[in-house]
Amino acid sequence: MITDPYLVPITKSINWSAMSHISALVAGTRGSGKSFLAFSLLVSLSTLPCKTDSLLGTSQLPTQIFAIDLKNADMARLSSLLPDGRVANNKKDAIRVVDSFLNAMNKRMEWINDNAPFGATAKSLQMPLYYLVIDEYSATSAVFNDALTKEDKAMKYHWFSSIHQIMMLGRQLGFGVIIITQQASDVNSGLSSALKEEFGMKVHMGQANAESYRLTFGNEIQIPIESLNTGEGLIWLEGTTDTGYVLPFAAPFINTRDFWSILKKAFARQEDVKYLTSCLNGNY
């Protein structure tokens, strides 16, 4: 029986408590399986609480999904499943999506402050999560870093300050970020050390060298000697693997022939207003 309504099974023995350890980093080279892992996470999140025997959960706490994919690849296709304005595949729309996400975050903060007792959080009220998933974050950062005009420089500042604000302030409100990137370096990915500290889950998919693992997990983490294939990786979870090591794992198998229909079912409860202030715990 799953007692934590925000628990996302990664494997039968590894679970991610999304509300408690909200933001996630998924790194790995092209073809390592990081995007498919991210999609399986989105299915589980959008149908929380999870079931122990199914990728689709009960959907009592349907996580609301926003997505940015400037490479206009698989993640961008979610625009046909999510409400208008939730998915961006270009620079200006990325700013609009981030602003919409921040606006929802601030509205939830106001609602909690006005309607719930002192000290209440999205977790204590059992409110649905909100997630912004950014595919190929290093490439996205490069687009914003290429700022020559005054407008471009303003957009660059807006982008990075917004991501920083979401990751630093979103935890208690149930607003998190899933960042997918090939390499989690400060220079190439735009991920500062301060932002890396905010990730409650860090994953590196596929075989990699010691430097790539260090960039994902940090200098103090011990890397086991493992031979990893596509769809396999190493994972660090806040509160579970804090003693200097990471765990090898295999991501859930995805049958691509059926997965689009699974995504349709998973995103059936994506609504802009309803889930911003709804809560399962009405005893407050």
pTM over 0.85? The answer is: yes
Task: Identify the pLDDT of residue 113.
Answer: 95
C-alpha distances (whole Å) from 179 to each of 127, 133, 241, 261 are: 22, 6, 20, 24
Q: Is 33 left (phi over 0), alpha (psi -120 to 50) or beta?
A: left
* Arithmetic mean of pLDDT, 196-215: 90
What is the DSSP track for 207-245?
A: ---HHHHHHHH-TTPBPP-----TTEEEEEETTTS-SSB
User: How far is Cα 206 from Cα 226, in angstroms, rounded to an integer?
Assistant: 10
Instruction: Tokens for 258, please give them.
Output: 């059926």
Burial of 9 (0-12, 13-18, 19+ CB in 10 A): buried
16-65 confidence digits (pLDDT tens):
999 999 999 999 988 888 988 999 999 999 999 998 888 899 999 999 99
* Arithmetic mean of pLDDT, 244-250: 85
Strand partners, 204: 27, 234
Whether residue 139 has pLDDT greater than 50: yes
User: How far is Cα 90 from Cα 102, in angstroms, rounded to an integer?
Assistant: 18
Whether residue 2 has pLDDT greater than 60: no
Architecture per CATH, 7-277: 3-Layer(aba) Sandwich (3.40)
Return the C-alpha torsion angle 93, 99, 100, 102, nearest 10. 150
Instruction: Tokens for 256, please give them.
Output: 């691509």
C-alpha distances (whole Å) from 3 to each of 8, 50, 139, 176 are: 11, 10, 38, 21
Residue 189's pLDDT band (boundaries 50, 70, 90)?
A: low
Strand, coil or helix: 249: strand
99-108 confidence digits (pLDDT tens):
999 999 999 9
